[in-house]
């Protein structure tokens, strides 16, 4: 993926997603869940044993995806307050850059809200510079400069090995995109933020006619970094007869935040089969979806009868097609979930599946009494 997205200023080139940090109420158990259910492996740890007196973090890895799961070790911490308000959720989207001081200075100069000034961290494996700015809600972007570092994760972390438990991976490769839910009327504000502060450009837009069912609607715009490696769709609710999934999120998360993280695989049938065998739950569309699938998307490499029992969805655009599926929400509150995606040329986000998907989501909302 090294295309240049037209219109992006790209004054702050981003090499990729460095890590995602979740604030969770029980990092130790969450780490085990991501290992046992999603096929991640143990990578690094920080806690009492490493001199971290307030916070404990477990880092798990699968190919290019690193998740940091952080919990407080005492009451009254910022992390604890975050969890009390939002439940478990994504706090940090860390972006890998060549110069974290430059990225911070450029972002602040262009109007970003400060989160963390550039800090040089070091240990026996070298140095890392990190800095940070606020995005929507309480989500932050941390810029990570690691060209002078060859340790396992970051200074302050020790290698975490669990030789007695290393589940097989499920074929997850990298973060394809990460979607934010923002409040009514705020989508364009955040589009402007990513344009002006980060040099991103808008590559796609969906209005409430694209994304609506009989009852609910939302709007979405997709922001991309210049090299296309970072894509942040931003959703806002649109008026509908009933409460939309974005409204439900905003109510239960008590604010704006990360709605879903899409992770790429190059064999979605194998990946989803593995995830299901390990207990991951997915949204289902009605079986009739598959009866008309070939009419809608034309011929595809995969056997539709292999997709049907797994509930994998297909969509086509001018450049090719994609296969995707969405998990149910993965924490106590009905907030964040994952998407598994396999791209076969398509660079879009599955617009042709929106209606069937949102009807599936409404059935979940109905069960929760939140529609
Ligand atoms: Fe998505």
Q: Which CATH number do you get for residue 127?
A: 3.10.180.10
Same domain flag for 262 and 345: yes
E strands in 275-330? 313-317, 320-326
pLDDT at 18: 98
CA of 251 to the centre of ligand 1 (A): 21
CA of 339 to the centre of ligand 1 (A): 6
Give the percent of the chain with pLDDT over 90.
81
**How many domains does the chain divide into?**
2
At 2, the pLDDT band (50, 70, 90 cuts) reads very low
CA of 147 to the centre of ligand 1 (A): 30
**Alpha carbons 61 and 292: distance in angstroms, whole number:** 38
Asked, for residue 1, whether it belongs to a domain, the answer is no
Q: List the one residue out of 63, 132, 150, 145 whose CA is nearest residue 97.
A: 145
Give pTM, 2 decimals.
0.95
At 282, the pLDDT band (50, 70, 90 cuts) reads very high
Which of 124, 159, 194 is a domain's end point?
A: 159
CA of 87 to the centre of ligand 1 (A): 22
Domain encompassing residue 126:
14-159
Which of 113, 130, 159 is a domain's end point?
A: 159
Helix (H, G, I), strand (E, B) or coil at 14: coil
Which of 159, 188, 223 is a domain's end point?
A: 159
CA of 128 to the centre of ligand 1 (A): 31
- In this prediction, residues 335-364 reach a mean pLDDT of 90
CA of 315 to the centre of ligand 1 (A): 12
**Alpha carbons 73 and 11: distance in angstroms, whole number:** 39
Asked, for residue 167, whether it belongs to a domain, the answer is no
CA of 62 to the centre of ligand 1 (A): 19
């Amino acid at each position: 993926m090294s295309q240049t997205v037209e219109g992006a200023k790209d004054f702050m080139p981003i090499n990729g997603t460095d890590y995602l940090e979740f604030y969770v109420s029980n990092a130790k158990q969450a780490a085990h869940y991501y290992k046992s259910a999603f096929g991640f492996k143990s990578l690094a740890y920080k806690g009492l044993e490493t001199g971290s007196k307030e916070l404990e973090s477990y880092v798990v890895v699968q190919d290019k995806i690193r998740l940091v799961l952080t919990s407080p070790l005492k009451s009254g911490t910022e992390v604890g307050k975050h969890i009390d308000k939002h439940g478990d959720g994504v706090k940090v989207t860390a972006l890998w850059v060549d110069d974290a001081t430059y990225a911070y200075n450029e972002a602040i100069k262009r109007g970003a809200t400060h989160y963390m000034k550039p800090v040089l961290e070091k240990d026996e494996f070298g140095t890392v510079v990190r800095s940070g700015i606020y995005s929507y809600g309480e989500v932050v972007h941390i810029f990570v400069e690691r060209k002078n570092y060859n340790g396992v994760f970051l200074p302050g972390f020790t290698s975490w090995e669990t030789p007695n438990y290393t589940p097989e991976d499920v074929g997850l490769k990298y973060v394809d995109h990460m979607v934010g839910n923002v409040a009514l009327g705020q989508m364009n504000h955040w589009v402007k933020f990513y344009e002006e502060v980060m040099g991103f450009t808008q590559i796609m837009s969906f209005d409430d006619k694209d994304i609506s069912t009989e009852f609910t609607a939302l709007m979405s715009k997709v922001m991309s970094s210049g090299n296309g490696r970072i894509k942040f769709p931003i959703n806002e609710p649109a008026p509908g007869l009933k409460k939309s999934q974005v409204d439900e999120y905003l109510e239960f998360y008590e604010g704006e935040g990360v709605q879903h993280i899409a992770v790429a695989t190059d064999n979605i049938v194998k990946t989803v089969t593995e995830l299901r065998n390990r207990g991951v739950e997915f949204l289902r569309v009605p079986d009739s979806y598959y009866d008309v699938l070939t009419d809608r998307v034309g011929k595809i490499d995969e056997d539709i009868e292999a997709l049907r029992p797994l509930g994998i969805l297909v969509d086509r655009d001018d450049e090719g097609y994609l296969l995707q599926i969405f998990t149910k929400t993965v924490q106590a509150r009905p907030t964040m979930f994952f998407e598994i995606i396999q791209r076969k040329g398509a660079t879009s986000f599955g617009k042709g599946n929106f209606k069937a998907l949102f009807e599936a989501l409404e059935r979940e909302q109905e069960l929760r009494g939140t529609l």
